Chain A
């Protein structure tokens, strides 16, 4: 692999006695879109601010294209950043906001106008140059903030939860827009978020942080389907946790006996027969129905519905099967199943996660 666009080597950040970031090693390839994902207080924003130069690492090095930048001040780094509160200058018009960075880079006046207009076209927001930020809608402000960050042709684009202030519909739209802009320009991007669907839908690679450490990194598919820990599994939605005993193998699958006696097939790593095993199962990876066909890579378990919540597009069922209680998310077609309904659960062997 060529020199990464940005690399963090054993970076640590302390605030007094509090260690916000422990020994983080991270590289981002040229043009890559990386999401730093985690709950609040996991150190994701601090990590981003260290890359930006707004915080100094206590230990470790930050390298841009192989060059150490720890001592390069913020204003010399040439990184575009979009802040959580957008940080638009309230006393400047949209044009002046976008042009701001060009004032500090010897750019000719006619060139400034051309580049600002080009940036506003990229974010699809021309004809608002004369407005003050307070006169723009939330989505328009968002686009101005992005235009302001990209107009300087930055080496790196940094986003600090920029969509958290928007309402749900607009957030979806801006997700697609940001992704499109990033693809169009091919700028290396680091995106901080606590919203797992944002990270999964936008990023090439997701880095899950927990208590200042990297818990897991990988493609969206990796972190979602092959979580290395229960923390990561639970972070991406509702998870059922079960303990079972390995009783043998069935072709490529392990056969695991659950406490109530039901046996299920699990596509998983080797495990000695007779050993105990912990299984995780996503609420949305189970199908509820009647008389499913028997297939080799699928387990069918009978169960009883004991509770349901109607969520609109989905229903959340609580079902019991041989003394186990499972939570299941299911698209609703027709009516929500009544309590006491006898059902079959269809669980694919590869739906099980073994942390």
Chain B
């Protein structure tokens, strides 16, 4: 065996080991979700779908799932609208304090969520506000906004300003020219930002723990609460559902993007 081949083999082995290290815990969770034993132990003796059935019968989990979905959808819609508007302003206009605005909009990415959580909680308190669902939404918007701005801004900057100007010379006002020209061209980035914001909101736990109104749980905080008492096998089933959703959503997004690219490419081939 040559030296190059040996190095290549070693690298391949290392890669496999690394992936195994990253993904094995996920595999363990999925496997245990089908284990009939009430204890999270190997080897698996009997298979069952009972834990999934039990999930649908647990009102606390269903309520948490509903809260998380409503929260995620609300947050991603608000965050994507605000973030796209901000990114448009940053991409199109030169105004005083532009660099500052950009920094303020993106810096929350670097701030640990625990600091954001405590900071916003203190601010609520000082402002005399009690914890509520709208405030939870506000907190999640603050966390997801930078991702939306970063995702959409790049795309918006790549769209020449002259396209909107051309639309305006042809009779479209500013809003119409944005809707007819810029928006459709930026749509892939806007959809990506929407998915990003939803996933981040759905997954957030650290800051959420500080902001939750009384008697409200999101899916992650509900799992935390359940783990405090015992390792319930339903948690593995819930985790499996979430993993499937987390994997499926981006794959669907990628397939959609490829399908779009393929149509425009097949269009090009006609010439």
Chain B residue with Cβ nearest A152: B170
Given A73-B173, A81-B169, A83-B165, A135 and B185 contact (CB-CB distance below 8 Å): no
**Across the interface, do B171 and A52 meet the contact criterion of CB distance under 8 Å?**
no
- With a CB–CB cut-off of 8 A, which chain B residues contact A185? none
- In Å, the complex CA distance between A89 and B178 comes to 12
- In Å, the complex CA distance between A104 and B180 comes to 11
- With a CB–CB cut-off of 8 A, which chain A residues contact B43? none
- With a CB–CB cut-off of 8 A, which chain B residues contact A89? 163, 166-167, 181
Q: How far is the CB of B260 from chain A (nearest CB, A)?
A: 11
The listed residue (B171, B172, B173, B267) touching A132 by CB distance below 8 A is B267
User: Is there a chain B Cβ closer than 8 Å to A91's Cβ?
Assistant: yes
- With a CB–CB cut-off of 8 A, which chain B residues contact A83? 162, 165-166
User: Is there a chain A Cβ closer than 8 Å to B168's Cβ?
Assistant: yes
Q: How far is the CB of B172 from chain A (nearest CB, A)?
A: 6
Query: Which label, helix, strand, loop or mixed, suits the secondary structure of the B interface?
Result: helix
Q: Annotate B28-56 by CB proximity to A: 1 below 8 A, 0 otherwise.
A: 00000000000000000000000000000
- In Å, the complex CA distance between A77 and B165 comes to 13
Q: How far is the CB of A246 from chain B (nearest CB, A)?
A: 53
User: Is there a chain A Cβ closer than 8 Å to B214's Cβ?
Assistant: no
Which positions 45-101 of chain B face chain A at CB distance < 8 Å? none
User: Is there a chain B Cβ closer than 8 Å to A90's Cβ?
Assistant: yes
User: Is there a chain A Cβ closer than 8 Å to B176's Cβ?
Assistant: yes
The listed residue (A54, A90, A91, A100) touching B165 by CB distance below 8 A is A54
Chain A residue with Cβ nearest B166: A87
Q: Annotate B222-266 by CB proximity to A: 1 below 8 A, 0 otherwise.
A: 000000000000000000000000000000000000000000100
**Across the interface, do A91 and B184 meet the contact criterion of CB distance under 8 Å?**
yes
- In Å, the complex CA distance between A90 and B167 comes to 12
Which positions 150-164 of chain A face chain B at CB distance < 8 Å? 152, 158
- In Å, the complex CA distance between A149 and B166 comes to 9
- With a CB–CB cut-off of 8 A, which chain A residues contact B168? 54, 73-75
- In Å, the complex CA distance between A78 and B168 comes to 10
The listed residue (B160, B172, B181, B184) touching A85 by CB distance below 8 A is B160
- With a CB–CB cut-off of 8 A, which chain A residues contact B173? 73, 75
Q: Annotate B137-170 by CB proximity to A: 1 below 8 A, 0 otherwise.
A: 0000000000000000000000010110111111
**Across the interface, do A100 and B170 meet the contact criterion of CB distance under 8 Å?**
yes
Given A85-B162, A132-B264, A104 and B171 contact (CB-CB distance below 8 Å): yes
For A, the interface residue count at a CB cutoff of 8 angstroms equals: 34
**Across the interface, do B184 and A80 meet the contact criterion of CB distance under 8 Å?**
no
Which positions 67-100 of chain A face chain B at CB distance < 8 Å? 73-81, 83-85, 87-91, 100
**Across the interface, do A79 and B169 meet the contact criterion of CB distance under 8 Å?**
yes
User: Is there a chain B Cβ closer than 8 Å to A105's Cβ?
Assistant: yes
User: Is there a chain A Cβ closer than 8 Å to B270's Cβ?
Assistant: yes
- With a CB–CB cut-off of 8 A, which chain A residues contact B162? 83-85, 87
- In Å, the complex CA distance between A149 and B163 comes to 13
- In Å, the complex CA distance between A37 and B185 comes to 34
**Across the interface, do A75 and B160 meet the contact criterion of CB distance under 8 Å?**
no
The listed residue (B160, B172, B184) touching A104 by CB distance below 8 A is B172
Given A87-B163, A91-B184, A104 and B267 contact (CB-CB distance below 8 Å): no
Chain A residue with Cβ nearest B171: A104
Chain B residue with Cβ nearest A128: B271
User: Is there a chain B Cβ closer than 8 Å to A148's Cβ?
Assistant: yes
13 intermolecular pairs with C-beta atoms under 8 Å apart? A52-B169, A74-B168, A75-B171, A75-B172, A75-B176, A81-B166, A83-B165, A90-B185, A101-B170, A103-B180, A134-B268, A135-B268, A148-B170
Not counting A75-B168, A75-B177, a sample of 4 additional A-B residue pairs whose C-beta atoms are within 8 angstroms of each other reads: A78-B171, A89-B181, A132-B268, A134-B268
